[in-house]
Structure 1
Amino acid sequence: MSCQLKNDHLIVDFAEQGFYQGKRFDWSGFITGVTLRQGNHSFCVPESLVPGLGTGGAGLCNEFGIADPIGYEDAEVGELFPKLGVGLLTRVDDEAYQFHKEYPVIPFQQEVKQEGSSKLCFTVMPEECRGYAVRLEKEIRLEDNRLIVDYKLHNEGSKPISTKEYNHNFLGIDQHGIGPGYTLKFPFELVPEVDEEGSMDSLLFQGSEVNWSGAQDSWFYFRLQGEAQAYHPQGWIWELYNHESQAGVREISTYPVDSIAVWGEKHVISPEIFIKLNVAPGESYSWSRIYEFFTK
């Protein structure tokens, strides 16, 4: 059964139970659609437009431990390790963890509670695994044109939890392909780190903005380092705007940013803002992501 939140400004759609069964993204609060009622603008797209390709991401879905899931390094081949928000995965070989690899999974149990038309609460139950046990609470609510995701991670095990979390933000405004109609903006001077130069030929870096000289015809990926904390005086981290639709979305969260990356394809732009989590046994940690959808 799928869920939906709505108020006078936004309609937010969630994936049905079983829609996503991958080993990468948090299964709880998997947002597949956001509609801004003023102008009927849409914002969420799938990771891949070709069924069966990619890792199954869509819309606003988060991931814990893209490179460092807790317990993987000290797990023997054949032993279990926890992938937060997903379940207990089995280490299959001596190689480093890879987010796109298939690992057998025992899913965590989840509870969902809806409180009115504009608030949903998700709880991922702890499952002890070699000293690791985490209860994850996620409250998703609407306030005017803002979508707010409140996280609370409780360490109920005997070992510390040290990992990173981010939201992949699979965005494409009104289904417009990625190109000159888009501007992605950060509140600091951009100095991108690029792995493959050829993938960036259409991107134009101008001060704090990313623009496009032509239609994006392949994937791209870059990282931003050194100025991640500079957004605090402005009160927002990033903003994506489509000039044809005259609609956009910005993240106005205030958690401590660990690092920033941007991934995209012909149809999707994903600003990825990472937070580092270190939670001792018996302690809890809370943070929030706040998205503001707007028209000009």
Structure 2
Amino acid sequence: MPHILKNKNLEILIDLPFENYCLARFDWTGKIVSLKFQNVRLAGIERTDVANENILGKGFYNEFGIDTALGFEEAAIGGWFHKIGVGVCKKVDSKYNFMKHYEIKPANFQTIAEDNRIVITCKSESVNGYAYSLRKKIELQESSFGIAYFLENTGERDIRTDEYVHNFLALNHEPIGSDYVLNFPFALKPELFVEKVNPESKVIIGDNSIKFNGVPEKEFFFSNLTGGENVDVGWKLSHLSTKIGIRETTSFQSSKVNVWGWRHVISPELFFKIFLKPGKTIEWSRNYSMYRLL
């Protein structure tokens, strides 16, 4: 059964590793499916036009290595490569595609669940010299929750990857539009964005904010929001009519921040870059706080 973290302000629903979504893209350690703040839903879903929700991203799902998976280049066609937090996947062609439904041999998962926290550990086998141990702790606070990560390189080769939370957000399930404001603690540099997908011109880029002049009926996407500069990262999403906000802060700086969305959801993405020598460990964290607007 899913694990629920709950207090007077928050309710967080977390699917365990082998529950519901079990594909190759998103990390299985602590799949945060839904979030309620004072009984108002804040999390959404990747798409609304697919009947089987268990193949879609939801809530606060995270991913390691969206551009290339660990050991993919070294694996032969028909061989295996790692997807951190999932297991090993069978390579079927020469180009990695995060949307592909790869055959999976799951990693070894262990779960310790308590009233106010859950800790899930994922230990991999060794494939082509790569191996790791991942531990994720999701902990409930009064009006916030934290995600703490601990990654150990237990293999013989360097680990080079990144991690981000997709943040499928829909405050009170309201469609994306003029009531939403997304703020960043750094200056936006649209002239340095790598990708700018805004087909209806409904997304308005400000000095450090993103607003909307209507409901986007087509997907939008912006990448490299910092212009490649390594800065303190975070975001704050407000919904003006329901007077609710949610904020993400992190323990790290980043040079990679993207935003994706559609009419039903908006996703600010903060990437954590990982370089880990054999035998070494790394820790990082994210904190989400919810509040009422004044």
Aligned residues of 2:87 and 2:124 also touching (Cα < 8 A): no
Aligned residues of 2:21 and 2:55 also touching (Cα < 8 A): no
The structural deviation recorded for 1:229 is 4.1
SS class of match (1:174) = helix
Corresponding position of 1:137? 135
Corresponding position of 2:157? 159
Corresponding position of 2:105? 106
1:178 to 170, 176, 179: 176
**Number of aligned pairs?**
288
Q: Does 1:93 align with 2:90?
A: no
1:14-37 residue CA offsets vs partner (Å, 9 max, x unmatched): 125321011100011000111112
Corresponding position of 2:227? 226
The structural deviation recorded for 1:175 is 0.3
Corresponding position of 1:285? 282
The structural deviation recorded for 1:66 is 0.4
Q: Unaligned 5+ residue runs, structure 1?
A: none
- Whole-Å separation in 2 of the counterparts to 1:26 and 1:32: 12
Aligned residues of 1:188 and 1:227 also touching (Cα < 8 A): no
- Whole-Å separation in 2 of the counterparts to 1:197 and 1:170: 18
Corresponding position of 2:35? 34
1:242-286 residue CA offsets vs partner (Å, 9 max, x unmatched): 011100111121212130000001100000100110111111100
- Whole-Å separation in 2 of the counterparts to 1:160 and 1:274: 19
Query: Which sits farther off after the overlay, 251-260 or 212-221?
Result: 251-260
SS class of match (1:23) = coil
Corresponding position of 2:239? 242
| TM-score of the superposed pair, with normalisation by structure 2 | 0.93
Q: Does 1:275 align with 2:264?
A: no
- Whole-Å separation in 2 of the counterparts to 1:164 and 1:141: 22
Aligned residues of 1:47 and 1:55 also touching (Cα < 8 A): no
- Whole-Å separation in 2 of the counterparts to 1:126 and 1:227: 32
Aligned residues of 1:199 and 1:221 also touching (Cα < 8 A): no
Corresponding position of 2:76? 76
- Whole-Å separation in 2 of the counterparts to 1:178 and 1:293: 18
2:116 aligned partner, one-letter code: S
CA shift in 2, pair 1:189/1:225, >3 Å: closer
| TM-score of the superposed pair, with normalisation by structure 1 | 0.92
- Whole-Å separation in 2 of the counterparts to 1:184 and 1:54: 28
1:19-63 residue CA offsets vs partner (Å, 9 max, x unmatched): 1011100011000111112xx221111111122489510000110
Q: Does 1:260 align with 2:257?
A: yes
- Whole-Å separation in 2 of the counterparts to 1:124 and 1:274: 21
Tell me the percent identity.
33
Aligned residues of 2:228 and 2:256 also touching (Cα < 8 A): no
The structural deviation recorded for 1:142 is 1.2
Aligned residues of 2:228 and 2:255 also touching (Cα < 8 A): no
The structural deviation recorded for 1:204 is 0.9
1:120 aligned partner, one-letter code: I
1:181 aligned partner, one-letter code: D
2:116 to 104, 115, 118: 118
- Whole-Å separation in 1 of the counterparts to 2:183 and 2:70: 33
1:145-164 residue CA offsets vs partner (Å, 9 max, x unmatched): 11100000011111111101
The structural deviation recorded for 1:225 is 2.9
The structural deviation recorded for 1:194 is 5.9
